[in-house]
Structure 1
């Protein structure tokens, strides 16, 4: 069996150099899916880019999504005929609730949320004090997507500002998910 290709799916405005996704890219050689426009993301463009990347992969993929990347994963998986056969698993971290008024206005075209079960195993990691998603909403997404839920406590948006560094506990979650 081919070892999976790990694809990093950053959220709106990409992940900066101190973000755990960028650190994992440098430490573990994971591949960031580069989007055409990080500042004004279009759901269709981002979905097409993910579709192309997954189809072009010679091996199965594991998705590691943050924030808007989680919303992209759910939308894409509901519409892609290859999601079930090409994606081994997904780690979904700090999804942004694109239905909140202040986020919906910043990211037009991303609402409503896709709340269908994902066709692959997943773990959703949420925070009690994420400014972009309430704990109840995060748990609702996990349940709808069929994801195992992990509560990281008070870790903000689980990004650079959260001070996670290399986030070794998150990487251990990913490794466990890849073994299942």
Structure 2
């Protein structure tokens, strides 16, 4: 196992205790980046928080982090990478179930996440898209992955790749994170 610190970036409303991200935090020791407001997420606030955490981790001067984002956390990575001067502190990102925040039926709490940032990420990334995600059509997820320069993995019919998907510890996701470690 590599020395890359792993940061978990949950989406809107955070990840519940049985979500695979929470399991990874408990069982693998990965660190969740807490946000001040999970209910009404402001893109700029979330970006500033990610910058703050990465800048305050002295380990990242020698060994950059891996980011593991779920849902709105994927949009956070894309937005942050477009604006931050500290992207060298990240070695790669696993982007799971990116939501289409430009859809007409998105809740008003997420409207400030428009437009979707589409610039290529400055580090390797893998995007995992479900064929039946209620928050993103697979074609839109594939387009985001292409825009970000991420390797696309179609996970099959697994919904939003969350607790309701029944992934448990999600060993397939851990294997994808392992690919980024190399």
Alignment TM-score, normalising by the size of structure 1? 0.96
Once the two structures are TM-superposed, the CA of residue 4 in structure 1 deviates from its matched residue by 1.2
Q: CA RMSD for the aligned pairs?
A: 1.0
Task: Give the match for residue 91 of structure 1.
Answer: 94
Match of 2:71 in 1: 67
Q: Once the 2 structures are TM-superposed, how far is the Cα of residue 107 of structure 1 from its aligned partner?
A: 1.1
Counterpart Cα distance in 1 of 2:84 and 2:163: 31
Unaligned runs of 5+ in 1: none
Does the 8 Å CA contact 2:39/2:109 hold for their aligned counterparts?
no
Aligned length: 177
Q: Which residue of 1 aligns with 2:37?
A: 37
**Structure 2 match to 1:168:** 171
- Residues 41-95 of structure 1: CA deviation (Å, up to 9, x unaligned): 0111100000001111122111000000000000000000111x11000000000
Rounded to whole Å, the distance in 2 between the matches of 1:45 and 1:102 is: 23
CA-to-partner distance for each residue in 1:104-123, whole Å, 9 max, x for gaps?
63312110000010000000
Q: Which runs of 5+ in 2 are unaligned?
A: none
Q: Which moved more, 1:54-63 or 1:144-153?
A: 54-63
Contact 1:104 1:110 in 2 (8 A): no
Alignment of 1:12-161 (within 5 A): 12-58=12-58, 59=60, 60-83=64-87, 85-103=88-106, 105-161=108-164
**TM-score normalised by the chain length of structure 2:** 0.95
Moved over 3 A (4+): none
